[in-house]
Amino acid sequence: MKFTPKRREVRQENNRCSISRGKNRIPPILLYINEWASLLSATFMKKWFWIAFGILALFSFSLFGFGFALAIHEVVNPPSTPLTKASSEEESSPAPEQGGMLLSLGDSLTRGTGDINGGGYVGVLREELRKKYGPDTQVVNLGINGQTSDDLLQQVKQPKVQKFLQEARWITITIGSNDLNRKSGGIFKIDKKGAQQGKKQYEKNLNQIFQLIREQNPEAPIFIFGLYNPFADLQNESETTPLIREWNQTLQEVAGGFPHVIVVPTFDLFQLNTTAYLYTDHFHPNQEGYRRMAERLLQLLQDYEQGKEKNR
């Protein structure tokens, strides 16, 4: 069958509409779909472009309006304190000085006797000081079971101990319980005359101990624990309590004669519920008793450090 010229032109036109790339041919219908898709995509993009542009313009205008209103407010109501870098630094508290050494001296209370973990109040201080002042904080515990103020006086004269005293940032002491117990004759028969003589020697020793420590280290605060009555729940409480209060008064008076010596009261910590905070020997604190002692000291230490910062 022969093609007429008109049909040949139509066939040639169809051939032009069919794009040949090797063996693949794209039908004309797909080309029409592609053109419609392109047209719709362009229309869609133009629409969202103007929507986005409008939102951005509205946000910019709102931001400008807020800034303008804030500026007007500060002009009409200026702040009482200039917003300067200096005022900002004064309001922020400085970071605590890192590191340092805690030196603990004294008797079995410093040693931690009665604490099932063996740390005593010194162990609690170690944890808390390292949290606040960093893991490099050192702790030296030179407590000795059974030590009296006579023994401590000799200890602080030793060259190695004096070296520790020179390097210490904080010093803690527990001393006097063994003096009182030995000089008073025990809990069942109080020797009042012996207790008075022992108190005078205790006072003399304390003065010399503080004097020697201050010669080695004039600045480090000394936290010395007061005495408590482990026998407050016994029948002779009426005799033992006044005796301990007298010794604590002596301690307060001696400490008041030296700079940076802070007495840490403990009498009230064990007074109302003695058995709850004492070890089975009914003399040394248990773990909870030592924690209460440490918490009392830490509070005084915080007050001391804050006062020191204000006086700078």
pLDDT tens column, 233-278: 777 788 889 999 999 999 999 999 999 999 999 999 998 888 899 9
What is the arithmetic mean of pLDDT over 106-110? 98
For residue 38, the model assigns a pLDDT of 59
DSSP state of 3: P
Give the C-alpha separation, 297 to 123, whole Å: 13
pLDDT class of 61 with cuts at 50, 70, 90: very low
Phi-psi group of 134: left, alpha or beta (phi > 0 → left; psi -120 to 50 → alpha; rest → beta) = left
Give the C-alpha separation, 119 to 102, whole Å: 14
- Burial-class residue 223 by CB neighbours within 10 Å (0-12, 13-18, 19+): buried
pLDDT in tens, 190-244: 898 999 999 999 999 999 999 999 999 999 999 999 999 998 877 778 888 999 9
% of the chain beyond a pLDDT of 70: 68
List the alpha helices (DSSP H) in the chain: 5-17, 28-76, 85-91, 108-111, 120-133, 149-155, 159-167, 177-183, 192-216, 237-255, 267-271, 287-310
DSSP state of 223: E
Tally of CB atoms within 10 A around 295: 14
**In one letter, which amino acid is 130?**
R
The vertex-119 CA angle with 118 and 124, nearest 5°, equals 155
Return the domain boundaries, the chain: 21-74, 101-310
For residue 206, the model assigns a pLDDT of 98
For residue 35, the model assigns a pLDDT of 58
pLDDT in tens, 124-179: 999 999 999 999 999 999 999 999 999 999 999 999 999 999 999 999 999 999 99
- Fold of the domain built from segment(s) 101-310: Rossmann fold (3.40.50)
Give the C-alpha separation, 155 to 172, whole Å: 14
Phi/psi for 231 (5° steps) reads -110, 25
Residue 252 CA to chain centroid, in angstroms?
A: 29
